[in-house]
Amino acid sequence: MPEEKLSKIVSLCRRRGFIFGGSEIYGGLSSIWDYGPLGAIVKKRIKDIWWNEYVEKREDIVGLDSAIIMHQDVFVASGHLEGFVDFLLDCPQCKKRERLDKLEKIDKVTYRCSNCGFCIDTSKYRPRKFNLMLKTNISATEDQPQIAYLRPETAQGIFTNFINVINTTHKKLPFGIAQIGKAFRNEVTGGNFIFRMKEFEQMEIEYFTKPEEAEKFYHWWVEGRYNFYIDKVGIKKENLRLRQHSKDELAHYVRACTDVEYNFPFGWSELEGIADRGDYDLTRHSQVSKKDFYYYDDQTGKKFIPYVIEPSAGVDRTFFAVICDAYTEEIVKGRVRVVLKIHPRLAPYKVAIFPLLKNKPQLVELAKKIFYDIKDKMAAVYDDTAAIGKLYRRQDEIGTPFCVTVDVESLSDRKVTVRDRDSMVQQRVEIDRVYEYLRERLELT
């Protein structure tokens, strides 16, 4: 059952140190989560792969790290202060509050409560608007507040710095500005673990083009971002799909939009959106700020406001998809083995090293020597806190591709047992060749 799988994934993430509840010792906060030691590693690996692929490897994209707190006029220009709202409906029978667009529509004015099934007449019980912006006071005094907002997306920091980037990098169209950072939305409805959170992280690119080339680059980015999840992140192709938005779904300023969707335990949902935003954003900021956002093409001598293609990915949703995709249950010798078959490049550790017997000083010394020889070359962990079977099970659940066990025979034959996570095949390998053995197989994976 999908609900059962989600429950097991949540349990694994908490038990093994991937995700903890935010402020948990004080009862927690709705839709707020903390990343534990292993979750922080996987999350960083996702961001590093994205940054390396789109900033470090490319000449046409530069990086940016803009502020989280932004002037309220930024969001006047972007339309967030006026239009960034959810319509919420309170069920008069069970009192549950839900987003109107997520409820089953019976007719033009009637919606069915997903909790109790009551049919709600919206001509009688009207939906209410809730702005999703998080407001803050940046004044030193409470009696004279200076209102600012936490950004609901990283994109606006890119748009407001467009001229700064042009003037300092001298980039020519087409070019992009990439940013990874936190964003905040006062989501009234949460659930489904880390899929929808009040504080989340985005990986966004604003790719600026000539107007006549926007459609070409839009399709190029759709294809490229879909393949990124398969080729770079290691998500199974059968769990991904592209869904193009219909015309009635599009915001007034969006010319086209396609979602990369993942088949989460609760169904197909958005992993990333790729949008052709036209010249709306730069035009609006130019109008409100009274600054010149025109691009001068020195080849044609023309000035114009560029169009922008926006691939916007969620770090947290990518993390969630990676864990869901990797979670596997197998029957081994009549017992269930839980294994996280995560791609080795995302695994928190590439190898775990154990002594078979922790009360044998010679085995412990040799195991630690192997560990210290390897740890500076690849992510490794040493563990002697349990019996070997429990140690294997622990590493299976956190996705470690290989385990190395030092046993009594290792002292005489100078070999160790290397166990493969996915196949569970064990092979004796010379101590001097352990790193080379691991490196070859990790590169081939």
**If 0-12 CB within 10 Å is exposed, 13-18 middle and 19+ buried, where does residue 180 land?**
buried
Q: Do residues 276 and 307 touch, judged by C-beta distance below 8 A?
A: yes
The total of structural domains in the chain comes to 2
pLDDT at 279 over 70: yes
Angle, helices 315-326/37-51, rounded to nearest 10 degrees: 110
pLDDT band at 251; cut points 50, 70, 90: confident
pLDDT at 445 over 50: no
d(CA 383, CA 248): 56
Compute and round to an integer the Cα radius of gyration of the chain: 26
Query: What are the phi and psi torsion angles at 17 (to 5°)?
Result: 85, 30
Domain of 297 in residue numbering reads as 2-82+152-323
Mean pLDDT (whole number) for 151-163: 95
| Residue at 112 is within a domain | no
**What digits encode the pLDDT tens for the residues 180-229?**
999 998 876 666 899 989 999 999 999 999 999 999 999 999 999 999 99
Please state, rounded to an integer, the average pLDDT across all residues of the chain. Answer: 93
CATH at residue 371: 3.40.50.800
Residue 316: which of 45, 54, 43, 132 has the closest Cα? 43
Is the domain of 316 the same as that of 356? no
Helix (H, G, I), strand (E, B) or coil at 431: helix
What number of other Cβ atoms are within 10 A of residue 140's Cβ?
A: 7
Is the domain of 230 the same as that of 265? yes
Mean pLDDT is lowest, of 140-144, 225-229, 391-395, 427-431, for: 140-144
Supply the pLDDT for residue 80.
83
| Residue at 75 is within a domain | yes
Is the domain of 76 the same as that of 216? yes
Query: What are the phi and psi torsion angles at 279 (to 5°)?
Result: -105, 15
**What digits encode the pLDDT tens for the residues 315-334?**
999 999 999 999 999 999 99
Which residues lie below 8 Å from residue 357, measured CB to CB, with a gap of 6+?
363, 407, 408
CATH at residue 317: 3.30.930.10
How does DSSP classify residue 186? -
**Structure-block tokens of residue 366:** 């040799």
Is the domain of 373 the same as that of 316? no
Is the domain of 217 the same as that of 299? yes
d(CA 15, CA 190): 22
**What digits encode the pLDDT tens for the residues 398-416?**
999 999 999 999 999 999 9
Is the domain of 53 the same as that of 183? yes
Say whether pTM exceeds 0.75. yes
